[in-house]
Structure 1
Amino acid sequence: MAVSPAATESRQQTLAQLSAHRVALQSVIHEVSVGRLSLNDVFRRAAVVDHDDALRRVYLVKLAEVLPSVGKVRARRVLADHGLGERTRVGDVPQEVQQALCGALS
């Protein structure tokens, strides 16, 4: 059975959007890892309503692990101490926990 051109085009558009989203996520993680963005900067940018949604969707553990002088073990321990799991996204972190994390991971 042949696939309709509309379905093929829709699939290609979806794949292009997903690819662009992945690139945006990796860009944020890279900027944090090289020190161009701090965790506080990420939280501040994510709070802006008009800002790109990719920032809010990054897993917090990924950002914490790549922070300079913070490793995987310490990052996961600090997140667990603040009641945050591995699947917590930046946009889901409450304001008071954001401040505590910035202090603990600095």
Structure 2
Amino acid sequence: MSTHQPIPLQVIFRDLDVSQALEAKVREKIDKLGQFYPNIESCRVVIEQLHKHHQRGNHFRVVIDLKVPGHELIAGREPDQNPAYTDVYVALRDAFKAMRRQLEDLVHRQQGQTKHHILV
């Protein structure tokens, strides 16, 4: 049994109905991030349904705002990046994958194993 405190979590639904199943999936994913990086102070997830593409179904945008000591990390997935984002769970999965990569990069930097990326 894990003894870590639940991470303060705010889930915001924009232009779609509140879904307890979706909220439970977000909680599950943030708990997994908390196992990897136990110092998460808070997390805010915005799940937004966009109504631009009536012919191709509605698309979803997911933005994760994570606060850790000394840092605020933001990861998101825009619907134009992937036609699969008509499925909110796919958009959510990919946004959390992006956040995990940011946390991994942060851990490497904190451990002095900085990877230097050339920014374009």
- Normalising by structure 2, report the TM-score: 0.27
Greater share of helix: 1
Q: Rg bigger for which structure?
A: 1
Greater share of strand: 2
- Normalising by structure 1, report the TM-score: 0.29
